[in-house]
Amino acid sequence: MVRPRSAHRVLIVLVLALVLPMLTLPAQAKHPSAHRDPGNGAERTAAATATASRALVAATGENRQGGDQQGYPRRTQLRVFAEDPSDKAIKLGLMPYHDIAPALNDLQARSNRVSAEVIGRSTLGRDLYLVTVTAPENPGQARQQDRWRELIENNPRAAAKDQRLAREYKAPIWINANIHGDEWEGTDGAMRVIEELATSSDPADVRLLERTRIYFTVTNNPDGRVAGTRANAAGFDVNRDHITSTQPESRAVRDVVIETQPLVMLDEHGYTGTTLIEPGTPPHGQNYEYDLYIKHAYANALGMEKAIGDLGYPETARADIPFRDFPPGEWDDWPPIFTPMYAIYHGAVAHTVEVPLRVNRSDYTNLPVEELRRRSGINTAVAETTINASIDYTDTNRRELIADQIETFRRGWTGEAQRDIPDGYVPGFGEEDRYSVEFPRAYVIPAGSAQRSATAAARLVDHLIANDVRVTRAEKPFQLAGRGYPAGSYVVDMHQPKRGLANVILAEGKDISADVPRMYDISGWSHGLLWGATVDASRTAAPEVRTTAVTVASPTGAVAAPAGADLALALTDGKEIQAVNLLLEQGVAVYRNDDGTVVLPASARRQAATAAERFGVRFTAAPARPPGTLLHKPVIAAAAASDELFVLRELGFDVRPVSTQALNDGFDLTTVDTLLVSTGLSYGQLTEQARQRLTAFLTEGGVVTRGSGGAAFNAAAGLLPVTAVAGRSDANGVVTVSNDGDLLGAGSPGHAFVYSPLWFTGLGEGVVAEQRYGTGNPLVAGHWLPASSGNGPEQAAGQAAVVSGVTGAGTRTVLFGTEPLFRGHPKGLFAQVGKALYWTAAG
């Protein structure tokens, strides 16, 4: 039996598939998804310019640990940050960041149930706190809890039989608050629960803490909390960074979920008008053990809904539970980029909770303080209540939750297939909810000549290990699935506890365009295809070779050339771009050849050795031929999104943010080599004086553009004679490409990432198609439906994705229709932008 609304869900899919491509939704439509921000829109430009020059935040003193830190409490005297009257939480009557450490220090002094630790620092240097609330444990008891946690993951068969574990293992619960800085109340709700449990004299609370450990990351984004911004100080939406881990805030909570292995997890957000509590809509992550997740997630959501209803506010009378209440695609749990979706792969029953009443952005500015504080008070009560309800659910269902986490890891170890879930498994479960995958038996990341990039392979291996995926190294050569692999190749045996996470990282993914009419955020990703390494899947067999567990990838840097030889470096990875920029900064003469390699003189061998060790790149002997074009470290003026600025700086470029306003205000282009334009620069809105300065620049400098904003600039400035054709704005995913031109080079990956894809037709004289979309249907994984005028993946097939050319004024120009820097994820594509910048700057 399916839930009654299942049939009309299917009808909605069919209707929306026809209607949505012809509609443009208003920014604040009364539609659930309008409240959920993709983090990929126009606000990226504002974030880029607003966060470019913030200084690190100072604090008084140091964090001082007390006691032996082996048991609980493991107290830390937290350093105190200076009072900041500009903290945006103050207006709402909420706790400013500078009050958190004093409050936690006080609770630690008053209660032996509270431990506060610093698990990292934010982009601007603010401390990230992990608070553990539990009954005291001596070191031996704490070690026993650790052993049981490890047994659950490492030997689930033994864990399932351990009766003492079943009785005495403390159920871990993790509450993550305030990952979006301008969604404040999760922090205040968490602090209320911490204080209540720390100071309660109720015997029931005392017994509860003898059975549980409750972990709180009280603010995951303190910089955004203080500034009142969704993003962190680098302009990143931290709740889109899981599985990539570019930001310190996401890396910190990645480590928390691995180390605590929670049974239940909440991520507190806002604001959706009606309280929203996951589980989400289809498409569901196909790598989950979904049967073990949904039975608890749905039941816990119902409990949270009842609890907020009991608060008695008209605004909390009910909740939206997307699985129950929304059509497919409106609030999905497909990509692993969100904190709860990522936590599921570590064995958690995880939920996003959205408190109801908006207090940020225009409401923060325009509403009276009294109304803002009324709303924030209700929101804080909702956050507190959902936390308490989830604690109650965990305690009530402790044994079953432990058993199901054990079962999740047992299936991974044994390689059992995911379970078929019948209709009505939970109320309303139907055909539209069925997503599953056939796991390969193993992945191999080759060593030697079979590997496209040893540097990229090492980066991927280290990333897998950081995410608690098990990797081994072959001690001898071996054969697998008809291929030969040398000793030193890496093996990911998919008979391991977190096979779902391993697969979501390494697999190609799935084209879900036909499954739902729209998606909220990205639908395709693949470290295996986009991170620059060669990754082979073996469907049915694991290698029969002795392997050794890997804790860190083998070093890849080397200077493999005879003494006295000039040195060559192929630019196929962002690490090689970093190496070149370091060498240029050191004053080394670096020459760029037309084949995409760079050459430096034998006299720079010492500097090359340093770069090889630092970045893991490999220099070889340069062939005997005349040197190419002498490079200098280019200065980049970038009208770009925050993620793009972040990557460009990470690559070692000298980047100076620019915008329409900056150019109109007299931004100095005379010291700039290349102008990079993706967003925030409108040629039509420039003053006459700014256009004159830009025209003068274009006689000497180069231009690189990305996306529709860059294409519009190209057309308005009269640069390359091409016609830009846009796919649907929400289309995204992994696509096949062919690298036909010399600029990007034949060594570039055969896949790219797109978001709002673009391609170029009508290429005029002298314009070169450097990269083309694959033939047929180039979409490998993701969601890309045609717009009302067509423009789906079949129309993009074979068309130019990246073009280059030289204008009549001599401006070297490169236009990208792909997203090679998107959120710092497609690391194997970074070198394409680096090579474009070197080429355009050489004009």
- 144 contact partners, CB below 8 Å, separation of at least 6: 168
Give 176's strand partners: 217, 267
3-state helix, strand, coil in the chain (%, to 5): 40, 20, 40
pLDDT digits (tens, 9 = 90+) for 123-140: 999 999 999 999 999 999
Using CA atoms, how far apart are residues 300 and 407, in angstroms rounded to an integer?
A: 19
Q: Length of the chain in residues, anyone? A: 843
Using CA atoms, how far apart are residues 613 and 608, in angstroms rounded to an integer?
A: 9
pLDDT greater at residue 649 or residue 6 = 649
Average pLDDT, the chain: 93
Listing DSSP states for 251-288 in one string gives HHHHHHHHHH--SEEEEEEE--SSEEE---EEEEPTTS
pLDDT digits (tens, 9 = 90+) for 471-492: 999 999 999 999 999 999 999 9
Give 675's strand partners: 637, 703
pLDDT greater at residue 507 or residue 43 = 507
pLDDT digits (tens, 9 = 90+) for 699-755: 999 999 999 999 999 999 999 999 999 999 999 999 999 999 999 887 899 999 999
Listing DSSP states for 432-483 in one string gives GG-------SEEEE--GGG-S-HHHHHHHHHHHHHTT---EEESS-EEETTE
pLDDT for 68 equals 66
CB atoms within 10 A of CB 221: 33
pLDDT for 745 equals 80
Residues of the chain above pLDDT 90, percent: 89
Cα–chain-centroid distance for residue 777?
Answer: 26
pLDDT digits (tens, 9 = 90+) for 252-285: 999 999 999 999 999 999 999 999 999 999 999 9
Task: Tell me which residue of 374, 358, 286, 276 sits closest to 325, measured CA to CA.
Answer: 276
Q: Which segments of 82-170 are extended strands (E)?
A: 114-121, 127-133
Q: Is 279 exposed, middle or buried (0-12, 13-18, 19+ CB in 10 A)?
A: buried
**∠ Cα 630 631 633 (to 5°):** 155
Q: Which segments of 61-195 are extended strands (E)?
A: 64-65, 76-77, 80-81, 114-121, 127-133, 171-177
| Sign of the CA dihedral running 82, 87, 93, 95 | negative
CB 307 within 8 A of CB 385: yes
- 59 contact partners, CB below 8 Å, separation of at least 6: 79, 80, 81, 82, 125, 126, 127
Query: To which residue do tokens 């290429």 refer?
Result: 763
pLDDT value at 27 more than 70: no
How sure is the predictor about 69, in pLDDT bands with cuts at 50, 70 and 90?
confident
- 368 contact partners, CB below 8 Å, separation of at least 6: none
Q: Is 367 exposed, middle or buried (0-12, 13-18, 19+ CB in 10 A)?
A: middle
Task: Tell me which residue of 378, 123, 118 sits closest to 234, measured CA to CA.
Answer: 123
pLDDT value at 24 more than 50: no
pLDDT for 48 equals 56
Task: Tell me which residue of 760, 791, 771, 774 sits closest to 833, measured CA to CA.
Answer: 771
Three-class SS of 597-622:
EEEECHHHHHHHHHHHHHHCCEEEEC
pLDDT for 595 equals 84
Q: How far is CA 4 from CA 15, 62, 294, in A?
A: 18, 58, 18
pLDDT value at 37 more than 80: no
Mean pLDDT in residue range 360-367 = 98
pLDDT digits (tens, 9 = 90+) for 218-256: 999 999 999 999 999 999 999 999 999 999 999 999 999
Using CA atoms, how far apart are residues 614 and 329, in angstroms rounded to an integer?
A: 43
Q: At what angle do helices 43-50 and 642-650 cross, to 10 degrees?
A: 50
- 592 contact partners, CB below 8 Å, separation of at least 6: 598, 628, 629, 630, 631, 838, 839, 842
Which two tokens mark 139? 């070191």
pLDDT value at 530 more than 90: yes
Using CA atoms, how far apart are residues 667 and 647, in angstroms rounded to an integer?
A: 23
**∠ Cα 96 98 100 (to 5°):** 80
User: How many Cα atoms are found within 13 Å in the side-chain-facing hemisphere of 498?
Assistant: 27
Query: To which residue do tokens 């519009």 refer?
Result: 712
pLDDT for 802 equals 98
Residue 342 one-letter amino acid: Y
pLDDT for 36 equals 52
- Identify the three-state secondary structure at position 196: helix
pLDDT value at 206 more than 90: yes
Backbone angles phi, psi at 703, to 5 degrees: -140, 135
How sure is the predictor about 787, in pLDDT bands with cuts at 50, 70 and 90?
confident
